[in-house]
Amino acid sequence: MSISAKAHHQSCSASQNALADSNGQGCIYLIAPTSAGSLGDQALCQGLVDVLGERLGETKLVEVLIKRRHNPQVLRSGSLPTFNLNSGSPFSLLRLRGRLKRASAVIIVGADTLDGSYSIKKNLIWLKLADLAASFGVPTSIVSFSFSQNPAPRVVERLRRLNPRIQFYSRDPVSKDRFEAFTTKDCALSADLAFLMKPSAQLSTTVSSWVAAKRSAQSLIVGLNVNPLGMRHHKEQMVESYRQALTDFLDNDPKRAILMIPHDFREGQSDQEIMLEIKKALPIRLYDRVLLAEGPFNAWDAKKIVSVVDFLITGRMHLAIAAMGQGVPAFGLAYKDKFEGLMQHFSLRDNLLPREKTLLPDTLLGFLMCALNQHAYVRARISSRLPEIKKKSLANLDNLVNCP
């Protein structure tokens, strides 16, 4: 489960002290999408670490923190050694420059943030560092990213001028086409690094016991994730819509059950908080058929939890990846056009609902019923494509094959 604040602090301190004794020789420098806290970003970075260990054996990984207040990603074994760039300090950039000369590789995990949609300044710093590393002949990759149809012009212009040695790996075909059209750069097609993350070994006692009871009763278990991001002003309407739709869905068949799975616990965008409100709004007679898997927990724990459902309805793309990576059908409540690219990997076109339509209870119920009717087909489709998708995930590391 989650590393305690004290253990996390000790891990970070030890990591930074260890790095202080190193000059960066042979290190692989990792830049995560953002500060720790997102389970999606955690899944990306853990997937990268899991496969690096398998492919390259023992590696010296160092996470570069772009901002002073950024926290390192919490991984299964704790945090990586870190280098805090402190973007306002020319001295820290000079120190990093010296380390990059001796690096074996630089990897920037783009996720959904490469196109300037969250922070243009951060992206420009990323690209400056990528250019610098590539100028030293260091294998440099920007991997596992999606690209929106409205990228920031300043970021696009800077991408066009990047060193041609830098390799790009888009995580879906839609983003690949957009990226190449906007930047005129070549981009390899990969798949999300989170497909490579290994799940936890076991479920919590609460979830395990509830699932066993439902399976004993021959119930169908539907995984549900509700993402409140961007819906703050519609909270009451959202809760009421889910109350109506879930009540009707469960009342229509006594052998249906719902396992609520949060995938973000951060203040102001907590899935757990909104799903707790939805559960409390349901009739008491249905409480035994609805379980909220309470956290906080880590991305690998969520992957284990989602493995036990018959199909998943989710507003978080990386929870969909956790499910589909284990052959579990996933249906998305799309809020950013990255969902479409993911589904295109599996040639799935009818398993997304724009998130704003979840405010309409009849539409939401219709989507639940559509998922119920299609989940066997979707499972077969995922199973047939999954080996190819996992190979594409490994392609993110193609630039590292010949690293020392």
* Alpha carbons 154 and 156: distance in angstroms, whole number: 5
- Residue 154: the pLDDT is 97
Residues paired with 265 in a beta bridge: none
DSSP output for 164-182: TT-EEEESSHHHHHHHHHH
- Tell whether the model's pLDDT for residue 404 goes beyond 50: no
pTM value is 0.90
The predicted-structure confidence for 94-104, as pLDDT tens digits, reads as follows 888 889 999 99
* CB neighbour list of residue 354: distance below 8 Å, 6 or more residues apart: 333, 334, 335
- Residue 23: the pLDDT is 66
* Alpha carbons 246 and 359: distance in angstroms, whole number: 13
**pLDDT classification of 12: cutoffs 50, 70, 90:** very low
**pLDDT classification of 401: cutoffs 50, 70, 90:** low
Q: What is the mean pLDDT of residues 254-280?
A: 95
Burial class (CB in 10 A: 0-12, 13-18, 19+), 294: middle
DSSP output for 48-68: HHHHHHHHHSS--EEEEESST
Residues paired with 313 in a beta bridge: 224, 331
273 contacts 228 by C-beta, under 8 angstroms:
yes
Q: Give me 348's structure tokens.
A: 């799935």
The predicted-structure confidence for 145-178, as pLDDT tens digits, reads as follows 999 999 999 999 999 999 999 999 999 999 999 9
Residues composing the chain: 404
Q: Give me 204's structure tokens.
A: 């919590």
Which domains can be identified in the chain, with CATH numbers? 7-190 (3.40.50.11720), 205-389 (3.40.50.2000)
* Alpha carbons 123 and 264: distance in angstroms, whole number: 23
Sheet holding 82-84, edge to edge: 82-84, 61-65, 28-31, 105-111, 140-145, 167-170, 188-189
Residues paired with 223 in a beta bridge: 259, 312
Q: Give me 283's structure tokens.
A: 């009739």
Residue in 135, 52, 63 with CA at minimum distance from that of residue 397: 52
The predicted-structure confidence for 335-357, as pLDDT tens digits, reads as follows 877 898 999 999 998 899 998 99
* Alpha carbons 354 and 200: distance in angstroms, whole number: 31
336 contacts 250 by C-beta, under 8 angstroms:
no
Strand boundaries in 187-310, DSSP class E:
188-189, 220-224, 256-260, 290-292
Q: Give me 401's structure tokens.
A: 């094959």
- Residue 151: the pLDDT is 95
Strand boundaries in 19-165, DSSP class E:
28-31, 61-65, 82-84, 105-111, 140-145
Question: With DSSP H G I counted as helix, E B as strand and the rest as coil, what are the percentages for the chain, rounded to 5?
Answer: 50, 15, 35
- Tell whether the model's pLDDT for residue 29 goes beyond 80: yes
* Alpha carbons 225 and 264: distance in angstroms, whole number: 10
- Tell whether the model's pLDDT for residue 206 goes beyond 60: yes
* Alpha carbons 290 and 246: distance in angstroms, whole number: 10
Whole-number mean pLDDT of the chain? Answer: 90
Residue in 304, 306, 273, 276 with CA at minimum distance from that of residue 290: 276
- Longest distance between any two alpha carbons in the chain, whole Å: 66
Q: Give me 39's structure tokens.
A: 């389970």
The amino acid at 341: G
